[in-house]
Structure formats: structure tokens, C-alpha cells
Amino acid sequence: MRSLLNLPIVILPAFLLSLAFAGFRVNLSLFALSLGASPFTVGVAVSLLAVLPMIFAVTAGRVIDRIGVRKPMLLAASAMIAGLGLAFAVPRLEILFIVSPLVGSGFMLFHIAVNHATGTNEQRDGRVRDFSMIALTYSIAGFLGPLLTGFAIDWIGYRRTFLLLTGCVLIAIIVLLVTKKRDSRYVAVESHGEKRRLADLLRNYAIRRVFIVSGSLSMASDVFNFIVPVHCTSMGMSASAVGLILGAFGVGIFFVRLLLPLFVRHLSEWRMLTMAMIATGTFLFAFPLVHVTAVLIFFAFMLGIGLGGAQPVIMSLLYKHAPPGRGGEVVGMSAALMNLSQVGVPLLFGALITGLSMTPGFWAMTAVIAGASWQLRRKRASL
């Protein structure tokens, strides 16, 4: 049996590691460019953050199911420290191709463990509330990480910024060690040697349906962040206008995650996902038809509400329908889909908009959302 930290204690390490990861993404790109790397080389280095997590996420989830979350959390933080410390000690371009998968894999393992810890709340309202708190934590860290890293690079340089980010992860490790065995309400479920196949999970209609929705919304988020800067720049908008549009998207995510515990009291999880899909598809379709900055800011805000509110609900549903003892594996599968989207979307939609124009890119994603929404609204008596 393994004990687990309670949610308030998990939040601080989650914030610190997310802050370090978000900052590392910025420092990785800028440091590589400062060393003379081409944009393609930078793209390869950044993609390595997601490639290994995409491959090993399901295995990581199975391990967490078997041994609990504490050791994986400590291992994840140690991997991030190893990567960040290596970047500081050996500041060479080729080293970044080792550092990137180390940091990315560490954060992936920690992300799965934290979600597994959060999913132990058996009450529907409580589970969605807890996932909202974790998602809100990631949103704040995702905003502060790049901001603080940018200032740190200007003040102390790239190498010392890697060291500063290492300090954030080290504090998280200390918190995890100091709070050992504070909460014993979680017990890892023994597998008794049975084989665990992904096909068994995909036969579960509810889980399969959530995976379809999760994958489509993850793609929509990646498409938005990838295509909007290109689209707005092609219309002659300034960098500050593009920043405002992307910032409105982030504000929408933060806003809905802050209020989500209130919504869940009055709406079912499936109905909230349906509303999120409709909002996302509608504003994605309309986005390329508008050329007024203020309207695009509003559209981005509404897209942030749709996409930001869906993720905590998706995690809650995955735990609700996961077979006993396989919650971590289900989260690992979800993480693998998200990383696949992060790797594949820039390549796929980059080729699409290069050969055609921006509008087909938005509308192709709208078609994906429409298909997933149709799947979501199918009724099954078992649900």
C-alpha cells in the first residue's frame, strides 16, 4: 500500500514544476537561437519535449497504478533537475537534444501522477472542483513561467536562468519529502498479475467517447496557438495585437476554470462538454471571417472558455469510467493523445495552410470538432 499527498499539498509542487517547464520551453528556444540554430533545429528540439512522453505515457500510467504517485513524482522532478542542470553545466546546442526529452518526460510523468492524485475524489462535484484547481494552477504557472523567464534571461543570461528553474524544481522535491505520509486515503490497487491491454479500455464506450472529445479539443487548442499568429500577421496586424488576441484566449481559460465548480452544480459533465464543443466549433468557424481586432479578441476569449472548461471535466469523466486500478493508465492514454497532437498539429496544419490558405485550416478543425460533437451527443442507455 502507498500513501498519497492531499490536494492542497500537491498543488505547490505542481505549480513549481509547471512554472519551470513553461519557463524552460521559452529558454530552450531562445538559447538555441542564440547559439545559431536554425528555426527547423529549434522546432526539432522543442518537439522532443513531447515525443518521448507520447510514446511512454501509457506505460507511466500503468506504473503509477501499481506503485502509487509519490515515487513517480520524485523521479519526475529528479529527471527535470537532471535536464536543467545539464543545460547549465554544458551550454552547447547538441546537449539540448538530450535535455529536452529529459525535461519533457519528467514533466509528463509528474502531470500523470498529479492527475491520478486528483482523481481520488469519488464525489462528482468534488472531482471536477479538484481538477479545476489543478488546471487553474497550470494556467497561472503557464502565464508566469514565460514572463519571469524572459526577465531572467535579460538580467542573468540563459545559463543562470536554467539554474533558476532548477531551483524551482528543487523546492518542489523538498515539499514532497517534507509532507511524506500526510494523507493515507489513497491505496494503489494491486494488479494480481493480470494483463492490461489498451483494447480493453477502448471497448469501454464512455472512455472511448471521452478520448475522442479530448483528442479533438486538444487539437483545437494546438491549432489555435499555432495558426492564429500566422493568420493575424498575414492580415497585417501588429505584434501587440496578436499578443492581445492570444492573451484573451488565456484569460478565457483562467476565467472558466475559476468558475467551473459553480457550473458543475447545475449541469452534467456530458452537457458541459457538449456546450464546450458547440462554442469551440462556432468560434473557430467564424474566426477567419472577421478582420476587426476587437471582435477577434472576443472570439479568442470565448474559445478560451470553451477549451479551458473542458479539460477538468474530461479528466473527471475519465476517472469516473476507468476500471478499478487503471486510473493512471487512462490518464497516460489521454496524455499520449495530447502529446501526439502537439507533435502532429504544427506539421499537418502547417502543410495545409501552406498549400491553401488560413481559412481552410480553421474550417478543417471545425469539421473535426463537429464530428466529435456528433459522437458526444449519441445516446447510450449504459451512460
- Sequential pLDDT tens for the chain (383 residues): 233 445 667 888 999 999 999 889 888 888 888 888 876 777 778 778 878 888 888 888 888 878 888 889 999 999 999 999 999 999 899 999 999 999 999 998 998 888 887 776 555 556 777 777 888 888 888 778 877 888 888 888 889 999 999 999 999 999 888 876 544 334 444 444 556 666 666 677 777 787 888 778 888 887 777 677 777 777 887 766 777 787 788 788 888 888 877 777 777 777 888 888 888 888 889 888 888 889 998 998 998 888 887 877 887 777 777 777 677 777 777 777 777 766 666 666 666 666 566 777 788 888 888 877 776 666 443 44
The total number of structural domains that make up the chain: 2
Instruction: Supply the DSSP string of 298-330, one letter for each residue.
Output: HHHHHHHHHHHHHHHHHHHHHHHHSPTT-HHHH
Which residues 6+ apart lie within 8 Å of 13 measured at CB? 73, 77, 110, 114, 172, 173, 175, 176
Q: Give the pLDDT score at 379.
A: 46
- Within-domain flag for 192: no
- Residue 217's Cβ-count burial label (10 Å; 0-12, 13-18, 19+) is buried
Are residues 343 and 206 part of one domain?
yes
Answer for the pair 231, 288: CB distance below 8 angstroms, yes or no.
yes
**Is 333 domain-assigned?**
yes
Reading the block at residue 268, the C-alpha cell is 452534467
The SS3 of residue 203 is: coil
* Residue 229 and residue 282 in one domain: yes
C-alpha cell at 265: 452544480
The tens digit of pLDDT for each residue in 92-126 reads 999 999 999 999 999 989 988 888 877 765 555 56
User: In whole angstroms, what is the distance from residue 270 CA to residue 174 CA?
Assistant: 39
Q: What is the pTM assigned to this prediction?
A: 0.73
What is the domain extent for residue 253? Answer: 199-377
Rounded CA separation 272/310 (Å):
7
CA-CA distance, 303 to 220, in Å (whole number)? 9
Q: What stretches of 139-254 adopt beta strand conformation (E)?
A: none
For residue 189, tell me if it sits in a domain: no
**Which burial class, exposed, middle or buried, applies to 192 when counting CB atoms under 10 A from its CB (0-12, 13-18, 19+)?**
exposed
Cα atoms in the Cβ-side hemisphere of radius 13 Å centred on 227: 28
The CATH number for 211's domain is: 1.20.1250.20
Non-local CB neighbours of 168 within 8 Å, separated by 6+ positions: 16, 17, 19, 20, 23
pLDDT digit string (tens) for 193-214?
556 666 666 677 777 787 888 7
Of 144, 178, 212, the one marking the end of a domain is: 178
Burial label, 171 (beta-carbon count in 10 A; 0-12, 13-18, 19+): middle
* Closest-CA residue to 93 (of 35, 24, 161, 17): 35
Q: Do both 169 and 208 map to the same domain?
A: no
Count how many Cα atoms sit within 13 Å of the Cα of residue 289 in the half-sphere of its side chain. 7
74 and 155 together in one domain: yes
**Phi, psi of 184, deg, nearest 5:** -110, 25
Rounded Cα distance between 129 and 276, Å, is: 17
Tell me, yes or no, whether 157 and 215 share the same domain: no
C-alpha cell at 224: 489555435
